[in-house]
Amino acid sequence: MTVPAPSSALTHRRLARLCSALLALAAAATAAPASPAVQAAQAAQAAQAEQAAQADCGAALVRPQRLQGTRHVLAFAPQPAPWATGRPVAVDMVVCPKGDAPMPDSVRVDARMPQHGHGMNYRPSITSPAPGRWRAEGLMLHMAGRWELSFELNFELPQGRQVERLTQELQLR
């Protein structure tokens, strides 16, 4: 199964929001210095456009969960859903950078049971079918209890290699 591509309407809507925010910022940068009230309104408009783009992150996934990081938003959904004990699961993921953050070049996924001091018995394989999209296959949560999913987003900044870690608690019965 491949990660579904976003609908063209979704892509166009998101692109239109981002373009209008960029045009507003470009117009403000080339115009005469704006008053503090105008600058505040422009900043609020840019923040609204960024929030709208983040809300659309992973919209093509079926019932995605979203994790907010410092530099990225991660949307993920198990396939098949819901999570179940002792059944292999794939996880479809979409990563959306915040602001000018770079797109990660790789993603790692792991799961562990902190109260038991162990993780999964299998290591998932991860592929990237498209930029910003990943699929981890072969996750198996082999027993009931509290699991912690861990996602590592790896990317490059001018100061060097960076990792953003995002976690989600999961309770299996």
| pLDDT per residue of the chain (173 residues) written in tens, 0 to 9 | 444 454 444 454 555 555 455 555 555 555 556 788 777 766 666 665 555 556 779 998 999 999 999 999 999 999 999 999 999 999 999 999 999 999 999 999 999 999 999 999 889 999 999 999 999 999 999 999 999 999 999 999 999 999 999 999 999 98
Q: How is the beta sheet containing 72-79 ordered, strand by strand?
A: 65-68, 72-79, 89-97, 133-139, 125-130
Pair (160, 119) in one structural domain: yes
**pLDDT of res. 164:** 98
User: How high is the pLDDT of residue 53?
Assistant: 58
| Residue 1 resides in a domain | no
The total number of residues written for the chain in this structure: 173
161 and 105, same structural domain?
yes
Q: Are residues 44 and 71 in the same domain?
A: no
Domain that holds residue 74: 65-172
- Which residues are within 8 A (CB) of 128 and not within 5 positions of it... i.e. 6 or more apart? 106, 107, 134, 135
Region of 39 (left: φ > 0; alpha: ψ -120 to 50; beta: rest) is alpha
Same domain, 95 and 27: no
Q: Residue 3 domain-assigned?
A: no
Separation CA 41–CA 63 (nearest Å): 34
Identify whether residues 111 and 47 lie together within a single domain: no
Q: How far is CA 138 from the centre of its chain?
A: 20
The answer to whether residues 164 and 106 belong to one domain is yes
Residue 2 lies in a domain: no
